[in-house]
Amino acid sequence: MTPSRRRLAVLAAATAVALVGGSAGTAFADPPADAPEQIRNGDFSDGSSPWFSYGTDSLGVVDGQLCATVAGGLANPWDAGIGHDALPLIAGAEYTLGFDVTATPGGSVAAVLQLGSEPYTGYYSVTAAATPTQQRIERTFVAPTDDDRAQLIFQVGGAAEAQTVCLDNISLRGGNPPEPYVPDTGPRVRVNQVGYLPGGPKNATVVTDATEALPWKLHSASGAVLASGTTTVRGVDEASAQHVHTVDFSSYRTPGQGLTLAVDGEVSHPFDISGTIYDQLRSDALQFFYIQRSGIAIDGDLVGEEYARPAGHLDVAPNQGDTNVPCAAGACDYRLDVRGGWYDAGDHGKYVVNGGIATYQLLSAFERTKNAPTGEFGANLGDGTLRLPERDNGVPDILDEARWELEFLMRMQVPAGKPLAGMAHHKIHDRNWTGLPMRPEDDPEPRELHPPSTAATLNLAAVTAQCARLFAPYDKEFAQRCGSAAKTAYAAAKANPARYAPSSGNGGGPYDDTNVTDEFYWAAVELYLTTGAATYLTDLTASPHHTGDVFDVRGFGWQSVAALGRLDLATVPNGLPAADLARVRASVTTAADGYLAEIGRQAYGLPMPGDPGSYFWGGNGAILNNAVVLATAFDLTGDEKYRDGAVQTMDYILGRNALNISYVTGWGEHAAENQHSRIFGYQLDPSMPKPPAGSIAGGPNAALQDPFVEQLLEGCAPMFCFVDDIASYSTNEVAINWNSALAWVASFVADQGDSAAVPAPTCTVSYTNYGSWEGGTGFTAQVNIRNTGTAPVNGWTARFAFTGDAKVRDAWMADVTQSGATVTAKGESYNSRINPGSSVMFGFNATTGSGANPAPNLVTVNGAACTVS
């Protein structure tokens, strides 16, 4: 068997340490008493983070100590270990390494300091003969080299018998105290570093002590002055604690490249004005999901050789998953094949609740194109628009990508005949945390299924219900399988309404949630939209979320999903009574008005308050989710203020912020590129790639929830509580649910093109369904188009999309064709002209299954949306 990279690392270190220091150590003077501490959380008062393990059976904090159980009979000491990354060493500086250790029944434990990446050179080691009685080990040594990313490994393998090894009060004192961290914020003029839409809002923020308005100038790439004006004094911004002005240059609408804004002696990063600047970002944000796939080899010809890798977690050594995975102790008595899906975030875990919302947003981004006037019926998300192995299969690529996760989610369902059948296991991940970096195919940890939860089960029900209606025109068998899984999961959740995931664990995130009323609402909505069944309508209307305020000022997310149901009820055609539907849609615009007001209050122009509580783990995803609400309000009303709010939100994400950083890798002059990820480990190991273009960082987190930023950023203003470093998982991680939000918003903004004024409708359409045929196998419908404009229409083409599996069988008074769910009707020679005030009609027969078949919300004539009655 080929050793894993981690095992090779420890083996290399073990070979080298004899050259640089033995267990006794050389006599050096102790570092001074005030020497800085380099270990983070060495007393485990903050749990086990940032410590990791490999080759152990368990790792966790017990009675204030970090304890691991280790199997007996491992061939070498380095076959199991406990580690800490990113320790700074200075050549020639003295350090004292100390730790308390016990081992039961007893064995050797070696502490090894080494290079954290290939060739894993050893710097120093000390070996303790550990017993059940705690002993303190301290040794002083001189660092042989500079290394700001050294690694400490406690080798705990090699004993004949199984061991429980416990460590406490681990310390590495010495070297220089860290320099006070001062982020490089670049020019004081903060802009969207990617650019602006010609007809959209164009705003910037200037950091300055000036108390009077300042002149500003917009320059072309050659230096010519294109526009000028004066700033607006905003005072001290709450989120950044900076004194700032703002600039509004929205009136300049001419496309250009390499423009800059000059204010107060400072020149911004360059940016473009173009109607196509978001087209590639849409693609990049979606391409991220392919690179995050588990259980498939990543093809370098599709995404670049730096991202090519063998399939991870298909039970090819050293992997121990995911084709035959057991449950964690006491969770079940069976094994499941749970291959596939997406790696959730910076680890190799796969989580149903986070996979649920991420899958929903990909499916929603596609479904939006069927119901939104600027969506062009999915042309920009169709087959061949992404670099996927499934491309050119006749299915929109975004649906292909969502299917990769949907297949995994359905594999997480408890089989029939087993206890809790129909529910979904909450998650699968490694038994213990692994170190950074770690390619998926090199992960040696055992994998475990965690108990089913009601939240996971309802996530499964909701997204498979979405799947059933969206895949129906492309893959009827898969759509039916999704529909069956959705109904089974929903019934199982109702039978087990309060099975909650625990709030702690090792080897993966908990994703715990003890209020699942929002999940019940969301799942009922999706099942109702797909089936039209009265039972789901009864459940959703009985939910307190149906009439409650589901749009929090701090956004929605995996733990708060009622907004997903509300947004879909507002936009997906359905049979809600007219008054109820109007109320649902009004709630979206009311929430959007609140977000617009917040944009106006914030000097950096984002739909999020400025208090510390509004800057939290994954806050960038929540900010983008507020933009989803703004975008949906635009789709419902055509009111440009909502579109402008969604577009302006991207300014913050792409550089108009206190740190002057684009949080999206590869997008902007100064962009995040060291996100916390075991796969994208370039910062620690240059043989590994950086995150791919289109990867979004979690963003500022005022709670400072990892040891790296806890020390580095103490006292930070909320918008400054971020560092682009792989060690900061609480501010700088990647995650599928944040990238899905980015993909949704980027797709919406890309659809806006130049962001031109929205024309008033010049047509009305009435769509009449004359009822189902006997047996429910089809229906007959008629469409009437009236020209309400002042000019005749010479030649007309009408388009609309079915919600589910309906297919046109035959038609009259128009040439009617269908692609996927989209129906296109072209006038015949005898009715191709529609004079002002006149109407034409056409009709069709269509076959359908048993799903919902409501009238469409959107009908276009010659590309322009009509008013549908």
Prediction pTM value: 0.91
Number of neighbouring beta carbons within 10 Å of residue 517: 14
Q: State the pLDDT confidence band at 4, using cuts at 50, 70 and 90.
A: very low
In the structure, what pLDDT confidence band is assigned to residue 11 with cuts at 50, 70 and 90? very low
Instruction: Give the pLDDT score at 176.
Output: 83
Catalytic pick among 344, 519, 724, 805: 724
Of the listed ranges 27-36, 176-185, 778-787, the least confidently predicted one is: 27-36
Exposure string of 176-193, with b = 16+ CB inside 10 Å and e = fewer, is: eeeeeeeeebbbbbbbbb
Q: pLDDT tens for residues 385-407?
A: 999 999 999 999 999 999 999 99
Is pLDDT at 341 greater than 90 in this prediction? yes
Which one, of 273, 269, 256, 258, lies nearest residue 202 by Cα? 273
Query: Among the options 443, 448, 676, 685, which is catalytic?
Result: 676
Cα distance between residue 152 and residue 66, in whole Å: 15
Across all residues in the chain, what is the average pLDDT?
94
The string of DSSP letters for 574-601 reads: ----HHHHHHHHHHHHHHHHHHHHHHHH
- Catalytic annotation present for 168: no
Most distant CA atoms of the chain, gap in Å = 102
Predicted confidence (pLDDT) at residue 743 exceeds the cutoff of 50? yes
Q: What is the pLDDT of residues 552-589, one digit of tens each?
A: 999 999 999 999 999 999 999 999 999 999 999 999 99
pLDDT tens, position by position, 480-531: 999 999 999 999 999 999 999 988 778 899 999 999 999 999 999 999 999 9
Under DSSP, is residue 789 helix (H, G, I), strand (E, B) or coil?
Answer: coil
Q: With CA atoms as reference, report the closest residue to 728 among 658, 663, 667.
A: 663
- Nearest CA to 697 among 638, 621, 772, 615? 621
CB-side neighbour CA atoms (13 Å) of 404: 24
Whether residue 178 is predicted with pLDDT greater than 80 in this model: the reply is: no
pLDDT at 369: 96
Please tell me the predicted confidence (pLDDT) of residue 1.
26
Cα 2 from Cα 641, distance rounded (Å): 59
- Gap between the Cα atoms of 858 and 636, Å rounded: 10
**3-class DSSP assignment, residue 245:** strand
Q: How confident is the model at residue 29 (pLDDT cuts 50, 70, 90)?
A: low
Lowest mean pLDDT among 25-29, 44-48, 788-792: 25-29
Catalytic site residue 733? yes
Per-residue pLDDT tens digits for 431-465: 988 888 999 999 999 999 999 999 999 999 999 99
Q: Decide if 383 is catalytic.
A: no
- pLDDT at position 848, please? 92
The band of 739, judged by pLDDT with boundaries at 50, 70 and 90, is: very high
**Which tens digits make up the pLDDT trace of 214-248?**
999 999 999 999 999 999 999 999 999 999 999 99
Cα 86 from Cα 725, distance rounded (Å): 10
pLDDT at 3: 30
What is the predicted pLDDT for the residue at 364?
98
The predicted structure's pLDDT at residue 28: 54
pLDDT score for 179: 79
Q: Which two tokens stand for residue 579?
A: 């008054």
Catalytic residue among 147, 539, 733, 805: 733
- Residue 854: C-alpha distances to residues 379, 469, 587, 781 (Å): 23, 12, 22, 11
Q: Give the model's pLDDT for residue 7.
A: 35
- From the candidates 79, 94, 347, 445, which is the catalytic residue? 347
Domains of the chain: 5-174 (2.60.120.260), 184-277+614-758 (2.60.40.10), 291-573 (1.50.10.10), 763-868 (2.60.40.290)
Is-contact 387 694, C-beta < 8 A?
no
Average pLDDT over residues 621-645: 98
